[in-house]
Each structure stands twice: as C-alpha cells, then as structure tokens.
Structure 1
C-alpha cells in the first residue's frame, strides 16, 4: 500500500510518524510521512524542543504532493495525534481530496484524546471535533477504552482531567457494554474499530494480569489477550494503529493476532533493554514476521 501518514515526529525515540513509518516500511509498504510537529523527543520526558507546524504549512506539504500528481495513488491515509483543530481541518480536507481522486482509499484514524487516569490531554475543541467530524469520516479507528467511552458517550465534553465516570461517558464496565459502545460509534461512520486497551475492569474474560484488544467489523467481534507487562510507553498506540492498517487487508481476525504478537514482542524487547523508548529495531523481525502465538477468540 501507499500510505499517507499525517502525525507528529521526533528526532530521538519513536512516537507518531517516528513509530509508524519504520514498521510499515518493514512490512513492505510505501509510507509518505507528513509531520505536524518536529520535536527533539516526545513530551513524556517533560522537556523538549522543536517546532509545532502551522496548519498552513502542513497543508502546503500536502499541496506539494498533489503537485507531483501522485495524491490519487494513495491507498490509505493514517492519522494520530492532531495538535489543533486547524490540523484536524487539514486532515479532513486531505481525506476528501484523496477519496475524490481514489474512491477506494481508506482512512485509518487513531483518535488520540486521553487515557484512563489522565483524562484529556489535547487542546480544547479537539475532543468534540474528533467525535463529530473526524471519526465519522474514518473507515477504521483505533481508540483506547477511554477514547471509546467518550466517543460513544452522551455528547458532553468534560473539563480537562475529568474521568469517564464523572463526565457522562458511555459505560464500559462489562464486555457487553464495550461491544455496545463500539456499535454506537460504528453507526456514526467507521466500519472497523480496534479497541486497544480492554482490561479486567471492562471484561470478565480478561484477567488482572492480561490486557486485551477487541476488533469489530461487519464479520463480528474478536478478542485477543496478552500478558500485561509493567510498562507505560509512548508510541505504542501509534505503532499499533499502523500495524492494524497494514494487516487488515488479510482479514480482521488475522490482523488482530499479528498486531498482538508484534506489539507484545516490541514491549518484551523494550522491557529487556530497560528503555523508555519502544525498541522497534530490536523487534523488527517480530514485526515483519509475527509469531501469531496468541489466540484470537470470536465473541460475537
């Protein structure tokens, strides 16, 4: 596939395009990275340097690609963290432009908004725009459980830092609730949903020492569970969305199993290295040739 990836980028480490590009290339895909920021390192370190690109500059890069007459050859658009409503508007315009040139092109959106325990960590205006405009435009979305609960909620946009139980988010306290939330979001537009963080609090079948991923499309719902590792890493979600997009043409069940194997291999390599940065290079063989050791269960 030719994949236009509009995301953040860092010089040191792996988040955004710096986490998505190499795995996609290792799997044989042609990636065209368009950066929305160019930082020295990810913001989890507390200090970083480098520019946030103006939406007009991002739009200029897209226009330059179009000048080459190749935008219509894009098979998929991939996006992650959208730093401002202006960047989100550029994304929407770009997706529309690509689809006008190639109606078969798909759009995979990782709707980065926040996380359990942290609340929202995006600028005001982004959550509502993501829910009301960006997600309905996507073919594929890859939310974590916090983001799913918001996207399927009652429409309220809570203050920064509020948690789902205080903010009118959708109930995701059981697997049936999670499935209902997924179907509510699917009804708005995206036919395929990958929930990247199903925990024991969300599904009785997921143990306290496990983490689950749930993938749903018209063929049904599939769950995979992997051992939980004591790591909190930046960039895993960016890599997960990229891998899911790459493997999805082979079917959702196989894609879920391969993604789970590759993500677990990267986490294992990262833990072994004692690194704060995901070890993409160390685990590249497991990215290119996932072992498929985890059982994918069809649950609906």
Structure 2
C-alpha cells in the first residue's frame, strides 16, 4: 500500500534574506560578507553564486574574475525560490551581460516585496569594453527592478552620468538622476570619498532627500562596507522594516563594523561585525 506524504509547510520565522552575488575569497566582501551580515542581524541567509573573485597578491591585488555559467546561476535561483519563497533579495556583483540577463529574467518572474541592488560596476583588471557592456546591461535590465539601489561615489557618478561628485549637493543630484532610471529609492553613499569630517549618505525616494551623517572613522576605504550596508538593508526589510528604517539602521551597523574592522596581510582592512 503506497503512502502519500505532504511536504512540510514553510515556516516564516526567522525572516529569510536571499542574496545573488559573487564570492570574494578573503571573506571581506561579496556573498561571504552578505551571509555574515544576515546572520548577525537574525535573518536566515541563503544565496546564489554568480562569479568567483580572487585577488592576486603577486599582481598588486588585482581581481581574478571567473563567471559562473548562466545555466548554473539559473538553476541556483530556481531551487532557492522553490525552497524558501523569499520576499526580499539583495543583488550584488553580476559581472557579465549574460549573467545580468539570466538574473533579470529570474527576478522579473518572482513576486518580490523588495529588491536591493548593490550596483558593482567594474572589477579592477576588466577590459574597458567588457566593463562598459556590463554597466549598460545593469542599467537597462536590473535598475528598473530595484526597490533600493546603494551606489558608492564612483557608481553613483557613473550611473548618473556626472563628471564628478565633490559635495553633498552633488551626491543628492546623482541620487535624483539615478532615481529617474527606475529604482524606487536611491541610497547614494559618500563614505570617506567626500571632504569633511563626516561620512555622508543621501537617501532619495522621489520626493524627499534625507541626508544621513556620522563621523568618519579614518580616511581609508574598508573592504565590505558597501556589501554590508546593502545586506543589512536586505535583512531588515525581510524582517518588516520600512526602507527608511532599514537604511538608518544599516548605517549604524556598518559604522560599528568599520570601527571593529579586521586587519590581515591584505593591503586593506575589512568590516567586522562583532556578536
């Protein structure tokens, strides 16, 4: 006599935070930093790998970049969505137009509550032509799907088509221009790139421009800061926060992570979330 089994009902606790991003072998950034952030904030993290980046210590720590086959990416997304039915996703490094096309198709077919995009535009060592093709594909296929996009100064300047971003007013103008490309919210991050004693970010929702400031902790960029902000926003949105609440809290999370930074033999420190 055959027996029919009913699959268990998916639990909604803890909140599930999903990420589609690349691997960064030192652990400071990429999907490693994303999953660590999800865990630190109490969300169940799982993800799809898009590429493998390993710095080259013998070549000025340039990027060695290997894309994952698009069908393998599609397979990972298929099983992740089937297993957990996530409502919030963070998209990190994609790296090639083929990857962007695969991810955009999969994302557009799922009923997301929020899509958080960390628009990683270029890898050190990429050919300029290939990098431009990737940037254009990201702008055309992924940006319109995003609830929140979190560009740093370089990414904001590139996406906004500006020659320079040298002030908070410039950063706000970049956020407005990027908003016109389709995302609902733009969190343009000044970090240590703007002059002055404060790390300044700008959140633009199509109407309001909210300026967020905190004192700088040193003047050097810290690996994983951008990944951590976007991942923290993702985890908090998955737990029911509003976009503004998530952004404000994420800035506090990354500020503490920079304060508790981890040093290594690499020529850069990494964000470290304690506890």
Q: Where on the TM-score scale, by shorter chain, does this alignment land: which range?
A: 0.7 to 0.9
Aligned with residue 75 of structure 2, among 39, 60, 68 = 60
Summarize the Cα distance change of 1:89–1:50 in structure 2 as closer, same or farther, 3 Å threshold: closer
- Structure 1 partner of 2:131: 123
Cα distance in 1 for residues equivalent to 2:229 and 2:117: 11
Shift of 1:11: 4.2
Aligned with residue 110 of structure 1, among 103, 115, 118 = 118
- Structure 2 partner of 1:235: 224
- Find out whether 1:264 has 2:255 as its counterpart: yes
Aligned with residue 87 of structure 1, among 78, 90, 99 = 99
Q: String of CA shifts for 1:214-250, please: whole Å, max 9, x gaps.
A: 1222572222222331333322211111112233543
Shift of 1:141: 0.4
The answer for unaligned runs of 5 or more in structure 2 is: 1-14
Summarize the Cα distance change of 1:256–1:107 in structure 2 as closer, same or farther, 3 Å threshold: closer
Over aligned residue pairs, what C-alpha RMSD do you find?
Answer: 3.2
- Find out whether 1:22 has 2:33 as its counterpart: no
Cα distance in 1 for residues equivalent to 2:248 and 2:29: 22
- Find out whether 1:9 has 2:1 as its counterpart: no
The answer for unaligned runs of 5 or more in structure 1 is: 154-163, 166-170, 202-206, 286-300
Shift of 1:121: 10
- Structure 1 partner of 2:7: none
- Structure 1 partner of 2:270: 278
SS in 2 for 1:88: helix
CA contact (8 A) 1:16 1:80 kept: yes
SS in 2 for 1:124: helix
CA contact (8 A) 1:74 1:98 kept: no
CA contact (8 A) 1:76 1:105 kept: yes
- Structure 2 partner of 1:138: 146
CA contact (8 A) 1:23 1:284 kept: no
Moved over 4 A (4+): 41-45, 47-51, 198-201, 271-275
Between the two proteins, the alignment pairs up a number of residues equal to 253
SS in 1 for 2:100: helix
Cα distance in 1 for residues equivalent to 2:90 and 2:182: 16
Summarize the Cα distance change of 1:273–1:128 in structure 2 as closer, same or farther, 3 Å threshold: closer
Shift of 1:16: 0.8
- Structure 1 partner of 2:159: 151
Summarize the Cα distance change of 1:51–1:98 in structure 2 as closer, same or farther, 3 Å threshold: same
Aligned with residue 70 of structure 1, among 47, 59, 83 = 83
- Structure 2 partner of 1:190: 183
Summarize the Cα distance change of 1:253–1:124 in structure 2 as closer, same or farther, 3 Å threshold: closer
